[in-house]
């Protein structure tokens, strides 16, 4: 077993796919036998043209590419892989019996990351494969972190500006014209101040929770939870905004409905799902919270009679690198970070989250939690 570091893998237990482009059957068998004891999946092709077609479909994690093959040689195959955006980031290790300096330089110039000479030394080959897989996964991880960072700063730059601008303009108006305003006008601007501070507080809380989660500051500490009690507390926090829109929040979850999860994380999940449901439900609508239980899991559903979600937007709702923000039915603002935080916290508790929706048909967000202590 080749000990590729877990933190660089796409997921725990992931088996990297190695593609071998080699026209000599004996060499192919040797490579297969060398690699079969490693934590790898393998695929192969016997010439350059077949290799290009197969690689574009398989999208392997690393390519072992023979230099001398019938048809397209390894240099040309590598050059074409480098020109294709879908394959240019796949590391290529050349397999060659030619070790003169000119060929080595040419190999690096067309995009190879390394080369191994024939006859193969198993320890050397496996060491080079391990090194370049770790580098590839590290680059992918860095790319994801950069996307996360960009999204974080996008939220700060865009979504904080809106409520701050409302607060600033309202304070400025009251400061300059307080004595000239009617009582109704004063109440209107005081209400704007209140709404703006509530929005800002909720957004900052989500940002803080998400930031701490990314940095590993928040630890998941599962315990036996009364879901009905958590739901009642979240309804109390959402009640005022719901009443302003004439929205009725109905809980079908009775007290002593238990799950085993982190209390603070699940409180954040329920709060965000309720807040979103109220935000996207029209005046006079309903938001219903219910639960169904099986032997091992409980599924909590937050369903609304709101404006619904476009089908093409659903896959991006829980992705940090997608910015899907829609104003609520009363033009309420939001960052979209709440749903991303919900997914992260549910998954930290070994659950899943999903949504069923269609425009004009409302939305039903469902998440699962264990009913027993997590192993």
Domain at 295, CATH number: 3.30.565.10
Q: Whats the size of the chain, residue-wise?
A: 375
- Nearest residue to 95 (alpha-carbon basis) of 149, 35, 182, 158: 35
Query: Of 323 and 264, which is predicted with more confidence?
Result: 264
Q: Are residues 260 and 300 in the same domain?
A: yes
Q: Tell me which residue range forms the domain holding 370.
A: 221-375
Query: Of 246 and 159, which is predicted with more confidence?
Result: 246
Does residue 50 form part of some domain?
yes
Query: Of 257 and 90, which is predicted with more confidence?
Result: 90
Last residue of a domain, one of 144, 170, 190: 144
Does residue 374 form part of some domain?
yes
Last residue of a domain, one of 120, 144, 168: 144
pLDDT, average across residues 329-336: 48
Q: Which pLDDT value is given to residue 7? A: 40
Q: Are residues 237 and 329 in the same domain?
A: yes
Q: Are residues 102 and 231 in the same domain?
A: no
Does residue 153 form part of some domain?
no
Q: Are residues 235 and 315 in the same domain?
A: yes
Categorize the per-residue pLDDT at 18 as very low, low, confident or very high, splitting at 50, 70 and 90: very high
Does residue 155 form part of some domain?
no
Domain at 107, CATH number: 3.40.50.2300
Does residue 212 form part of some domain?
yes
User: Is residue 322 within 8 Å of 154, Cβ to Cβ?
Assistant: no
Does residue 329 form part of some domain?
yes
Q: Prior bond to 331 cis, omega within 30?
A: no
Does 5 score more than 50 pLDDT?
Answer: no
Query: Of 196 and 79, which is predicted with more confidence?
Result: 79
Does 2 score more than 60 pLDDT?
Answer: no
pLDDT, average across residues 272-284: 89
Q: Are residues 208 and 226 in the same domain?
A: no
Q: Which pLDDT value is given to residue 1? A: 36
Q: Which pLDDT value is given to residue 9? A: 46
Tell me the pLDDT tens digit for each residue of 197-229.
Answer: 876 776 677 677 767 766 666 778 899 999 999
Q: Are residues 297 and 344 in the same domain?
A: yes
Does residue 154 form part of some domain?
no
Q: Are residues 202 and 97 in the same domain?
A: no
Q: Are residues 194 and 252 in the same domain?
A: no
Tell me the pLDDT tens digit for each residue of 290-305.
Answer: 999 888 899 999 999 9
Return d(Cα 91, Cα 66) in angstroms, integer: 14
- Segment among 68-72, 83-87, 131-135, 329-333 with least mean pLDDT: 329-333
Q: Which pLDDT value is given to residue 368? A: 95
Q: Are residues 253 and 362 in the same domain?
A: yes
Domain count, the chain: 3
Q: Which pLDDT value is given to residue 186? A: 86
Does residue 1 form part of some domain?
no
Does 333 score more than 70 pLDDT?
Answer: no
Q: Are residues 320 and 181 in the same domain?
A: no
Whose tokens are 């190879």? That residue is 112
Last residue of a domain, one of 203, 218, 233: 218
Q: What is the mean pLDDT of the chain?
A: 83
Q: Are residues 368 and 225 in the same domain?
A: yes
Q: Are residues 76 and 177 in the same domain?
A: no
Q: Which pLDDT value is given to residue 375? A: 60
Q: Which pLDDT value is given to residue 11? A: 55
Query: Of 101 and 131, which is predicted with more confidence?
Result: 131
């Amino acid at each position: 077993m080749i000990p590729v570091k877990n933190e660089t893998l796409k997921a725990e237990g992931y088996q990297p796919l190695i593609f071998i482009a080699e026209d000599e059957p004996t060499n192919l068998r040797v490579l297969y036998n060398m690699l079969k004891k490693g934590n790898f999946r393998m695929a192969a092709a016997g010439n350059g043209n077949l290799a290009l077609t197969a690689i574009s479909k398989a999208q392997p994690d690393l390519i072992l590419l023979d230099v001398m093959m019938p048809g397209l040689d390894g240099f040309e195959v590598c050059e074409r892989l480098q020109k294709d955006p879908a394959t240019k980031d796949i590391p290529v290790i050349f397999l060659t019996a030619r070790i003169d300096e000119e060929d080595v330089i040419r190999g690096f110039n067309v995009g190879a990351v390394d080369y191994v000479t024939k006859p193969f030394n198993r320890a050397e080959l496996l060491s080079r494969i391990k090194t370049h897989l770790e580098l590839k996964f590290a680059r992918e991880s860095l790319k994801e972190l950069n996307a996360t960072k960009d999204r974080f700063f996008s939220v700060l730059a865009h979504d904080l500006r809106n409520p701050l601008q409302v607060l600033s303009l309202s304070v400025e108006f009251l400061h300059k014209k307080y004595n000239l305003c009617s009582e109704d006008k004063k109440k209107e601007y005081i209400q704007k101040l209140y709404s703006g501070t509530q929005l800002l507080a909720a957004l900052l809380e989500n940002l803080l929770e998400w930031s701490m989660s990314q940095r590993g500051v928040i630890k998941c500490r599962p315990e036996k939870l009364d879901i009905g009690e958590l739901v009642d507390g979240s309804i109390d926090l959402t009640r005022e905004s719901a009443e302003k829109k004439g929205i009725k929040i109905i809980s079908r979850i009775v007290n002593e409905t238990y799950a085993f999860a982190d209390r603070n994380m699940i409180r954040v999940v329920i709060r965000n799902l309720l807040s979103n449901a109220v935000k996207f439900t029209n005046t006079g609508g309903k938001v219903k919270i219910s639960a169904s239980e099986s032997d091992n899991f409980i599924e909590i559903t937050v369903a609304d009679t709101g404006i619904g979600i476009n089908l093409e937007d659903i896959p991006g709702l829980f992705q940090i690198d997608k910015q899907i923000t829609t104003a609520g039915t009363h033009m309420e603002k939001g960052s979209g970070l709440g749903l991303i935080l919900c997914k992260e916290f549910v998954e930290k508790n070994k659950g899943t989250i999903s949504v069923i929706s269609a425009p004009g048909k409302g939305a039903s967000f469902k998440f699962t939690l264990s009913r027993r202590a997590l192993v």
